[in-house]
Structure 1
Amino acid sequence: MPQLFHRSTNTLARLSIVLGILLAGGLLWLLLQANRTPFVTQAFMARQQPVQFSHKHHVGDDGIDCRYCHTTVENTASAGMPATKTCMNCHSQLFANSPYLEIVRESWRSGQPIKWTKVHDLPDFAYFNHSIHVNKGVGCSTCHGRVDLMPSMWNVASLQMEWCLACHRNPEQFIRPKNKITEMEWPPVEPSPAEFPNGWNQAVDGPKLVKEYKLQPTDVLTSCSTCHR
């Protein structure tokens, strides 16, 4: 039987297989990269809220401590959203007639809570407890960024597992003194000599705090069951 195809078609067949594998690998790589983009993670995308609340004004300008509004952050898994009463503690006197705060006043009159839009929304299969983090020296700005510079709130991180593991594998790089957890600017540019006679060196002081605060060993912090229960 005469040969139907030229010998070169064997080479073309092999090349097509190689190209197919490369194409499939390239598409997989593109999908993995796309999964890390802000379009998917929603990072750096400001959320629309029912009230024009500015962390920059309240935290940055007025110096209000995070725990004044997020009252349960040290004791429970959730940081908690402020009750309308917390807002009215100030705004029954300040900007009491501002049209921007009518939703707050209506919530106060009706007893219906304000429906805030969640910004840091973890998937249901991930367990996160605020209290254990802040009580072990993980500061607010470590995860939430410089909220004192945010007119509107947004994520500064992907909230993906690789981001969490970066800290769980090396907590000494992120930990700080417990009395500094709500400070936005960390490490301090000019450490107080009274508080830090030798200054602050994360590479030196971080491991000391890990030991002092009795953090779990890395194999426990990176165990699947720690975050997926």
Structure 2
Amino acid sequence: MKATYKDVKSDILSKITKGEWAPGDLVPNEVELAATYGCARATVNRAMRELADEGLIERRRKAGTRVRMSPVRQARFDIPVVRAEIESRGATYRYSLVSDSVEVAPDWLRARLKLPAEGKAVHLDCMHYADGVPHEHEDRWISLTALPTAEEADFSHAGPTEWLLATIPFSEVEISLSAGLADQRLADYLACAVGEPVFTIERSTWWEGQAVTYVRFSYRPGYRLTTRY
């Protein structure tokens, strides 16, 4: 059984905390670690990235990765999984895939994510429910340039966020928060009136400089966003 990124992260963390890898020590490169743990390099990269985000290691291009002399504490914004969010409140979660298509990326998406001309993307329209009540509408695009396997993925039973987190790491995230008014389409999805206020989160992610996905989440009136750092 191949090691997961959590296994890799846990073992590296253990080596650091036990002093096997002392402050300032050079950490083996990703290729060596992937061979050691019997996993893909991307798995190692995700583990190393989280340790770097947590201030335990320092990664420098061409200079390698070293255990930090003094750990740095940093705030992180983890990508949330709506199923876990709803179930943590004791509510029953339900997911529905409204539509799934492969399209040439529209001009606005190509401009936003710097996709190639005629680049294609998977376009998903999804709904998430809490105790049968509309909770979140998801309008998502996944670049097939960055992630061609998305074209054959089955999104009929689980939301794309969970598939993406299990399939590819991310190195950069852009998040925008805004308020707006529901048009007829959103009003139908969220079971609210046209013109009622809706809360919107737009999120784009990249992996090593290449755009992977753009998503717009819309929430019905009364939604509250809470984050913890």
Name the TM-score class by shorter chain: under 0.3
Tell me the TM-score normalized by structure 2: 0.21
Structure ranking higher on relative contact order (CA contacts 8 Å, 6+ apart): 1
Q: Between Structure 1 and Structure 2, whose CA radius of gyration is higher?
A: 1
Tell me the TM-score normalized by structure 1: 0.21
The structure with the largest helix share of the pair is 1
